[in-house]
């Protein structure tokens, strides 16, 4: 059937001109139902809201409204991010120093922001150790200078470039876990999930185990089991087995369970 929506040459449609195919009809209904569901969940109700979408014109209006909201949120985020990061770069009223491992160069920061971003930092700054002078330092011994720089940038801006995140995701995950920076934990978890492949699956499994990323650990474990031949015979696996024998046990058990399922399904 000719469809007024998806046909490539609508000018030659035969009457009636308002016919649509089954796929476009189902797609339109799905979009309308999804939007109404989102609006109901936002209002905490199982029933359709009074201003629910009923036509594709309503859908277009809803999308336009969401776009306006998105632009406002982007402006707000940019305003907050730029202000804090400018204060950091220009060292405006910085009152604490952050020092990386091996007694490297320190980075200036603001006590108030650190305390707001992390309960652990707040507890450290509330202690008598950090009250003596504005030049007091906090040493983050698990991070080198470059990693610490990325952590500070994230604390002030809430984001990192793709290149920095890919390079330092494991060390930042450990720091996020140690200092209870929940947003950074989610940020790192999403990055590792998106980039999961045969070459980094063991690293992801190891970090997810250390940082208690339960869902990510399960995903990495399942991925390793499905790609066991490529991973088990790699040079990285020998090192991994020596460093994390308990995870090797979990991989072996998961592999056996997967093999058993396949045997049962035959």
pLDDT (tens digit, 9 = 90+) per residue, 19-49? 788 888 888 888 888 888 888 887 775 555 5
187 in a structural domain: no
Specify which residues 139 forms β-bridges with.
Answer: 99
99 and 150 within one domain: yes
Q: How far apart are CA 24 and CA 18, in angstroms?
A: 12
173 and 100 within one domain: yes
Segment among 19-23, 76-80, 250-254 with least mean pLDDT: 76-80
188 in a structural domain: no
29 in a structural domain: yes
185 in a structural domain: no
182 in a structural domain: no
Residue 134 has what pLDDT? 46
Domain that holds residue 86: 58-92
Residue 45 has what pLDDT? 59
pLDDT tens column, 218-244: 999 999 999 998 998 988 999 999 999
Structural domain count of the chain: 4
205 and 148 within one domain: no
162 in a structural domain: no
19 SS3 class: coil
Query: Is the four-CA dihedral 255, 259, 264, 266 of positive or negative sign?
Result: positive
Whether the predicted pLDDT of 8 surpasses 80: no
Compute how many other C-beta atoms are within 10 angstroms of the C-beta atom of residue 66.
12
DSSP 44: T
In sequence order, the 6+-apart residues with CB closer than 8 A to the CB of 23 are 6
Question: Exposed, middle or buried by CB within 10 Å (0-12, 13-18, 19+), for 7?
Answer: middle
Residue 5 has what pLDDT? 73
Half-sphere exposure of 203 (CA within 13 A, CB side): 19
141 in a structural domain: yes
SS3 content of the chain, % helix, strand, coil (to 5): 70, 5, 30
């Amino acid at each position: 059937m000719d469809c007024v929506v998806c046909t490539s040459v609508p000018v030659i449609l035969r009457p009636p001109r308002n016919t649509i195919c089954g796929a476009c009809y189902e797609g339109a209904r799905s979009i309308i139902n999804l939007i109404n569901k989102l609006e109901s969940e936002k209002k905490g109700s199982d029933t359709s809201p009074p201003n629910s979408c009923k036509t594709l014109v309503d859908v277009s209006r809803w999308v336009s409204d969401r776009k306006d909201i998105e632009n406002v949120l982007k402006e707000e985020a940019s305003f907050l991010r730029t202000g804090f990061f400018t204060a950091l770069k220009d060292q405006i009223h910085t009152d604490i120093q952050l020092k990386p491992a091996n007694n490297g160069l320190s980075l200036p920061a603001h006590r108030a922001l650190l305390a707001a971003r992390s309960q652990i930092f707040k507890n450290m700054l509330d202690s008598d150790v950090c009250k003596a002078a504005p030049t007091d330092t906090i040493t983050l011994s698990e991070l080198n200078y470059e990693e610490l720089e990325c952590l500070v940038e994230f604390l002030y801006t809430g984001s990192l470039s793709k290149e920095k995140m890919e390079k330092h995701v494991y060390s930042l995950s450990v720091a996020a876990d140690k200092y209870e920076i929940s947003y950074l934990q989610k940020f790192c978890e999403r990055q590792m999930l998106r980039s999961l492949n045969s070459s980094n699956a063991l690293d992801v499994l190891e970090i997810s185990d250390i940082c208690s990323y339960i869902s990510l650990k399960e995903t990495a474990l399942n991925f390793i089991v499905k790609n066991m031949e490529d991973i088990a015979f790699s040079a990285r696996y020998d090192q991994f087995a020596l460093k994390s024998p308990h995870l090797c046990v979990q991989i072996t058990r998961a592999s056996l369970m997967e093999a058993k399922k396949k045997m049962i399904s035959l």
